[in-house]
Amino acid sequence: MIRMPRSSTLSSISLLSLIIFLCTFVPRVQPAHADTEYRQAMAKAVRTAAKSVLPSVVSVEIVGTAQGPSGEVEQDAPTSGVMIDAEGYVLASSIVVRRPAASILIVLPDGSRHAAKVVSRDYHRDLVLLKIETTKELSAIEFPATLDTRIGKTTVAVGRFGSTASPIISRGVLSGVERLDGVALQTDARVSAAFYGGPLIDLYGNVMGILIPAVAGGAGSDPTGWYDSGIAFAIPSDVILTKLERLKSGTDIKRGLIGIASKTKDPYDDGTEIAAVRKRSPAEVSGIKAGDEVLEVDGKTVRRHQEIRQALGRFDAGETIRIKLRRDGKEIDITTELAETIPPLQPQRLGVLVSELNGELNSEPDREEQADKDVTKVVVNSVLSGTPAESKIKAGDQLRKLGDAKISSVNVLRSLLMSAEPETEVVLSITRGGSDETVRLTPAMVAGSSLMQPPKDWSDTEPGEWVTEELKLPDSGNAAAFVAPKPAEMQQDLGLLVLLVNPSGGSPMEVLENWSEAAKSAGVVICAVAPEDSRRWQPKEINAIGNFAAAVMKKAPINPNAVAVAAPGAISGTDAEAADSMALAVAVSQSSTFFGVSVSPKTRSPAMRVKENDPSASLQILLPLSSEKDLPEWSLAIKKAGYPVVLGGDTDATALLNWVRLLQAI
Amino acid sequence: MNRLAAITLTVLLATSVSDLQAEAPLGTWVRDAQKCVVKIYGAGGLKGLEAYQSGFLVSPEGHIATAWSYVLDVEPVVLLDDGRRFESKIVGFEPSLELAVLKIEATDTPFFELKEEPTVDWGDPVIAVSNLFNIATGNEPASVMQGTVASVTDLNARRGTFKTPYRGKVLILDLIANNPGAAGGAVIDSDGQLAGMLGKELRDSTTGVWLNYAVPANALRTTIGDIIAGRKTTVIDSATATLPRKDSHNPTALGLVMVPDVLETTPSYIDTVSTGSPAARASLRPDDLILLVNGQRVDSQRTLRSLLRTIDRRDNVELTVQRDTQILPVTLQP
């Protein structure tokens, strides 16, 4: 509590002070310095620009959302919007519809509130079109058809804030264009929740775009995670202008999909060869084939798969684009209409462990491959028992073609099977003992199938000496430890399991004591990671977990496809806790690192955006269940996005670890 | 007094600046402002609670305005810009402004004047001077940050973990000003005048985001004057106090039967209206959604109940309800 001053102190000073306080009306000299003049002129210009759009800027309030908050920004935070015409249409950020709400209210500049209906959504650009019914005169915002997007140009974010819907502004510069796969402008204005849906303008009052909450790539599932961070995004006005009629007609807009899988595992590697074409996708319909090389997308030259992605990013479903390809040395042009959805992947497998051999082809070069300088051979190391490959394929076979598609790398073979048609026989061209043969077999579904047994040569290899060490990464506060073979041991193609420790689940070193024997005999390196905060896992730790996996992969000969993340709940008879939800979130948002995830079926589904499974970075989910009917509700959404759910039955540590290492099987 | 000399100096400096250069010479106003800002050390020091904050002089007799906080649970020690160290007395505080005034035994101190009118509007450039993170010690001058007034608005920080009783206009700042130790620091406009006092670290309850804000100087002026003059010590903010159950309104007494409150934030839909009740007289209907109570947003039934607890049962209750797409103002008369 505050200790009160004694009254004697008060009375002794009060009179004198009062006199002095009242005597301070001496006029101050205005310091008319150059920097002051500049700042004041800028303030005036910013205000003038903002005032030219403010009559069209409204506040959007959400009333009665059904769930508690998730993420730092409250889910029912008031945001902004703009009136696009005099009819009552209001464009806002789709954050206002991210949870079902009893009502969405538009607060007009005069303070009046109006209930809004959702007309349509642009899922591709995170915008929503709302409509209010009113007789009031509404001031429409103007979207220019052409934009001056010189980087460094002054920008002003404009919104409304607080219970009085007062104007709020933040000044910055244009930091970038075509961000978020080609859809958004970037600015360094300090944009917080209140600004979302408001306009980003220039100093002349031209509307450059509408601000949206967004984070890039795997930076976490909460799109508001980057508020006030010097990085904010806006959908450019010229693009909005071309979408408004469609949105007004009540048609939702979605991102356009094409359905090709990349040959290179890393999209930033050189090369645009297509490893596989998705079934019933626009790519298949328009005649794109596995092995084609993409040269141009809509007139834009592309050299890497990331550039294809960037060039396609701006297009909506239903839009037609031109693609220039190279096939067998000839250039061909194809037009294709992008689709809203592609039937989900139903990954298949043969049941083989393969590796790549590089070098000159043998005495008799394959006639079809003569033009090709790329001489990587995909060779079978072992065939797993109880799989379609058993008795059809032998160790030592070279796998050359699957149907018409050339198997030019292990990754290509994997992608082809990931996107193969279920229960359909395939023709495999192989070379066995120097002669070419064809083998017919029907691959098996990855989903649902029970666990495979590891090949004999794995269990025959002497594991040698394994040691447990602590692991510290410079940028993370997580305690971690890993158990792995000593560097001198000569094992290959080990698995890696990143095991997330529950809050208050003990130190990583202690946790690994129970796992080290099983790890050694299964040939799976285990990295146990504890949460930074001893009470909970936080979404911001997702990236750190991916970094731990990458760090451990440098320390042992781990097959990059046999990498999984799991929580203690993956073992039958263990309860679901915080680590289970976290493992699921990590796997889905770091899908290029993790090829498997195993958690308890009772896991509480984390707040995450489930991305489509990607054939070139395919993730599978292991649950310790025996029957499909015990599957948790959240697994349905996961299956729909093309992730196979594998039933492990009564899963113990050994079964889990064998599954991890066998993630490299195709 | 030496004020005359200072004025003369300023005039001389002002006239010597003529051309706009890329890095125009700064005036002395930033340094002048630093001289009025003090470092305050008091209670705290436990985990997560800093034992220091900032303040600024408001009279030549050593009166210091600062944020009212746990740091002042003991009579604090004040360090002036020149490094002089003083024991201080708390001469008054005003919880509804989060303001406290200290007094040190010093004379002829530099000080800020408090203007009657607001000196800044949204968009205006400002300088914040504070001892954030206690980076300055002894006679090191306080830290200076530049930014913009992003908005001038009402603070709506009623619910959530972080609360402030302050209900007036605030300056929302476009800079990370509200760091540990910054509370009580001075916000200066580009003419060198005091524009406001930095508030404590605060999260906006409606958006959940951290706020950087200041209480405008004109809102503090009368109270500081009264405290210095000995006319005022403490006023308890009664505007939002929760009343005893028997003295306040509640949904049942108003005739409102809400839909079952099963969720953490069940929307305030009316299920039925009791016959002959204030709600029935105001023609409220089942399925009406209550949006506002006395102008304050109702996001759930829990909020509805707690807002009604702050209203005397003899007073009218102003509701705003949504019926289909219509928004209707309704007055409930007890």
Give B80-132 pLDDT, tens digit per residue: 999 999 999 988 888 778 899 999 999 889 999 998 888 899 999 999 999 98
- Dihedral of the CA atoms A483, A489, A491, A493 (nearest 10)? 50
Domain count, chain B: 2
Check: CB of residue A17 under 8 Å from CB of residue B61.
yes
Q: Which CATH class is domain A348-361+373-445?
A: mainly beta
pLDDT digits (tens, 9 = 90+) for A311-360: 999 999 999 999 999 999 999 999 999 999 888 888 899 999 999 887 55
Pairing of strands A596-598, A558-566: parallel
pLDDT band at A2 (very low <50, low <70, confident <90, very high): very low
The answer to whether residue B166 neighbours chain A at the CB level (below 8 Å) is no
pLDDT tens per residue across span A404-456: 888 988 888 988 898 888 888 999 999 998 899 999 999 998 888 778 888 88
**pLDDT band (50, 70, 90) for residue B165:** low
The encoded tokens of residue A41 equal 């002129």
Percent of the residues in chain A that have a pLDDT greater than 90, as a whole number:
50
Query: Does the pLDDT value for residue A372 go beyond 80?
Result: no
A-B CB pairs within 8 A amount to 244
Structure confidence at residue A238 (pLDDT): 95
pLDDT for B156 equals 58
Question: In this structure, which CATH number among 2.40.10.120, 1.20.1090.10, 2.40.50.140, 3.10.580.10 belongs to the domain A50-252?
Answer: 2.40.10.120
Same domain as B254, residue B214: no
User: pLDDT class for A370, splitting at 50, 70, 90?
Assistant: very low
Any chain B CB within 8 A of the CB of A35? yes
If you search the block for the tokens 């269940």, which residue do you land on?
A625
- The reply to whether B200 and B252 lie within a common domain is no
Is the pLDDT confidence value at B20 over 50? no
Residue that is written with structure tokens 């001031």 in the block = A139
Distance in angstroms (rounded) separating the CA atoms of residues B279 and B282: 5
Mutate to test the interface with A, among B89, B117, B148 (most CBs of A within 10 A): B148
Q: Look at the block and give the residue holding tokens 């066995």.
A: A432
Same domain for B95 and B146, yes or no, is yes
Facing A168 at nearest CB: one of B19, B172, B263: B172
Superfamily of the domain at A260-337: PDZ domain (2.30.42.10)
Are B193 and A39 inside 8 Å of each other by CB? no
Domain end among B228, B263, B284: B228
Q: Is the predicted pLDDT of residue A12 greater than 60, yes or no?
A: no
Q: What is the pLDDT of residue B166?
A: 72
Query: In which element (H, E) is residue A636 found?
Result: helix A634-640
Point out the domain boundary residue: B200, B228, B256: B228
Q: Which residue has the higher pLDDT, A249 or B208?
A: A249
Common-topology check for domains A50-252 and A260-337: no
Dihedral sign of CA atoms A628, A632, A635, A640 in order: positive
The upper half-sphere exposure of residue A358, i.e. CA atoms within 13 Å in the direction of its Cβ, equals: 3
Residue type for B28, please?
T
Residue B321 belongs to domain with CATH number: 2.30.42.10
Q: Label residue A33 by pLDDT band (50, 70, 90).
A: low
Taking a C-beta distance cutoff of 8 angstroms, is the pair A598, A576 a contact? no
* A48 shares contact with chain B (CB less than 8 Å): no
Asked, for residue B213, whether it belongs to a domain, the answer is yes
A167–B151 C-beta distance less than 8 A: yes
CATH architecture of the domain formed by A456-664: 3-Layer(aba) Sandwich (3.40)
What are the DSSP E strand ranges found in A179-264?
Answer: 184-187, 199-202, 207-212, 232-236, 260-262
Partners of residue A444 on adjacent β-strands: A349
Residue type, A516: S
Interface contact flag, B228 A28, Cβ < 8 Å: no
B211 and B95 both lie in a single domain: yes
DSSP characters over A481-513:
EEEEE-TT----SEEEEEEEPPTTS--HHHHHH
ipTM of the complex: 0.71
Look at residue A25 in the predicted model and tell me its pLDDT. 42
Range scoring the smallest mean pLDDT among A152-156, A266-270, A522-526: A266-270
Which of B3, B208, B292 lies at the smallest CB-CB distance from A72?
B208
Residue whose C-alpha is closest to residue A248's, from A58, A87, A96: A87
* Helix/strand/coil for B331: strand
Residue B324 is assigned to a structural domain of this protein: yes
Confidence of residue A10 (pLDDT cuts 50, 70, 90): very low
Q: How confident is the model at residue A74 (pLDDT cuts 50, 70, 90)?
A: low
Which of B133, B96, B117 lies closest to B196 in space, CA to CA? B117
Q: Give, for A11, the enclosing helix (H) or strand (E).
A: helix A7-22
* pLDDT one-digit tens code per residue, B38-54: 999 987 555 455 689 99
Sheet with B289-293, strands from edge to edge, namely B296-297, B289-293, B317-323, B326-332
User: What's the CA gap between B168 and B149, in Å, rounded?
Assistant: 16
Q: What are phi and psi of A579, to 5 degrees?
A: -65, -30
pLDDT class of A32 with cuts at 50, 70, 90:
low
Q: What digits encode the pLDDT tens for the residues B136-154?
A: 888 889 999 988 999 998 7
Asked if A29 contacts B11 with a C-beta cutoff of 8 angstroms, the reply is yes
Closest of A97, A86, A145 to residue A119, by C-alpha: A97
Are the C-beta atoms of A150 and B137 separated by less than 8 Å? no
Kindly indicate the confidence band of residue A30, based on its pLDDT and cuts at 50, 70 and 90: very low
CA distance A134 to A149: 36
Residues in chain A: 666
B234 found inside a domain: no
As a whole number, mean pLDDT of residues B167-176 equals: 83
User: What mean pLDDT do residues A486-491 have?
Assistant: 76
Q: Half-sphere exposure of residue A9, counting CA atoms within 13 Å on the CB side?
A: 16
* Mutation for B interface: A4, A15, A17, most B CBs within 10 A: A17
With a pLDDT cut of 70, the percent of chain A lying above it is: 89
Choose among B60, B61, B55: nearest CA to B42.
B55
Q: What is the mean pLDDT of residues B245-262?
A: 88
Count of CA atoms in the C-beta half-sphere (13 A) of A84: 24
pLDDT band for position B9 (cuts 50, 70, 90):
very low
Quick check: is B240 in a domain? no
**Tokens standing for A86?**
């005099």
pLDDT score recorded for residue B50: 66
Q: Which of A34, A66, A228 sits opposite B209 (nearest CB)?
A: A228
Confirm if B329 and B318 have CB atoms less than 8 A apart: yes
Residue A7, chain B, CB below 8 Å: the answer is: no
Chain B, 178 to 207: residues with Cβ < 8 Å from chain A are 190-193, 205-207
Alpha carbons A241 and A244: distance in angstroms, whole number? 6
Q: Degrees (nearest 5) of the Cα angle A508, A514, A518?
A: 115
Residue B237 lies in a domain: no
- Examine the pLDDT at A216 and tell me if it is beyond 90: no
For residues A223 and A126, the answer to whether their CB atoms sit within 8 Å is yes
**What was the pLDDT predicted at A562?**
93
Q: Which chain A residue has the Cα nearest residue B21?
A: A34
Among residues A23, A29, A30, A32, the alpha carbon closest in space to that of B1 is found at A23
How far apart are the C-alpha atoms of A305 and A261, rounded to whole Å? 9
Query: Is residue B144 domain-resident?
Result: yes
A360: left (phi over 0), alpha (psi -120 to 50) or beta: beta
Range in A381-395, B186-200, B295-309 with the lowest mean pLDDT: B295-309
Closest CA of chain A from B4, distance in Å:
10
CA A317/CA A257 separation, integer angstroms? 7
Average pLDDT over residues B306-314: 88
| Token pair of A567 as six digits | 């929580």
Residue A206 CA to residue B330 CA, distance in Å, equals: 41
Same domain, B316 and B270: yes
Give domain status of residue B233, yes or no. Answer: no
Choose the mutation target among A24, A25, A26, A36 for the interface with B, i.e. most B CBs under 10 Å. A36
Q: Which domain holds residue B281?
A: 245-332
Q: Which string of b and e fits A57-92 if b means at least 16 CB within 10 Å?
A: bbbbbbbbbbeebebbbbbbbbbbbbbbeeebbbbb
Rounded Cα–Cα distance for residues B80 and B86 (Å): 8
For residues B155 and B213, is the Cβ–Cβ distance under 8 A?
yes
Q: Cα-atom radius of gyration of chain A, to the nearest Å? A: 30
What pLDDT shows up at residue B25?
56
Mean pLDDT of the A2-24 span = 42
Rounded to a whole number of angstroms, the distance from the CA of A265 to the nearest CA of chain B is 39
Phi, psi for residue B221 in degrees, rounded to 5: -55, -55
Mean pLDDT, range B64-92, rounded to an integer: 88
pLDDT (tens digit per residue) in B191-245: 889 999 998 877 766 666 778 889 999 999 998 998 898 876 554 444 566 788 8
Say which CATH number the domain at B47 has.
2.40.10.120
Are B156 and B164 spatial neighbours (Cβ–Cβ below 8 Å)? no
CB A594 within 8 A of CB A563: yes
User: CA-CA distance, A196 to A205, in Å (whole number)?
Assistant: 18
Q: Which of B30, B299, B326 to mutate to test the interface with A (most CBs of A within 10 A)?
A: B299
**A21 Cα to chain B: minimum distance (Å):** 6
The predicted pLDDT at position A295 comes to 96
- Among B26, B190, B296, select the one facing A40 at the smallest CB separation: B190
Neighbour tally for A144: CB within 10 Å: 14
| The predicted structure's pLDDT at residue A67 | 55
Q: Do B299 and A40 touch (CB under 8 A)?
A: no
The one-letter amino acid at A436: D
Strand partners, A349: A444
pLDDT of amino acid B15: 42
| Angle at CA of residue A230, ends B166 and A236, nearest 5° | 110
Q: Which residues of B198-229 are buried (b: 16+ CB within 10 A; e: fewer)?
A: bbbbbbbbbbbbbbbbbbbbbbbbebbbbbbb
For the segment A490-517, the average pLDDT, to the nearest whole number, is 90
pLDDT exceeds 80 at position A16: no
Contact A21 B229 (CB under 8 A): yes
Pairwise CA distance, residues B6 & B14, whole Å: 12
Q: Determine what percent of chain B is predicted with pLDDT higher than 70.
A: 82
Task: End-to-end CA distance of chain A: give it in Å, rounded.
Answer: 69
Instruction: Report pLDDT for B16.
Output: 42
A21, A24, A25, A30: CA torsion to nearest 10: -140
| H helix runs in A174-312, sequence order | 179-182, 237-248, 282-285, 305-312
Mapped onto helix, strand or coil, the DSSP state of residue B77 is: strand
Distant-in-sequence, close-in-space partners of B301: CB < 8 Å, separation ≥ 6:
B258, B261, B266, B267, B268
Give the per-residue pLDDT at A301.
94
- Give the model confidence (pLDDT) of A84-142 as tens digits: 999 999 999 998 888 778 889 999 999 888 999 999 999 999 999 999 999 989 999 99
Which of B228, B257, B277 is the last residue in one of the domains?
B228
Distance, CA of A35 to CA of A42 (rounded, Å): 11
The ranges assigned to domains in chain A are: 50-252, 260-337, 348-361+373-445, 456-664
- Chain A positions touching B154 (Cβ under 8 A) are 162-164, 166
The pLDDT value given to residue B154? 78
Tell me the pLDDT of chain A averaged across its residues: 85
How many whole angstroms separate alpha carbon A339 and alpha carbon A283? 10
Instruction: At B71, list the tokens.
Output: 């740091």
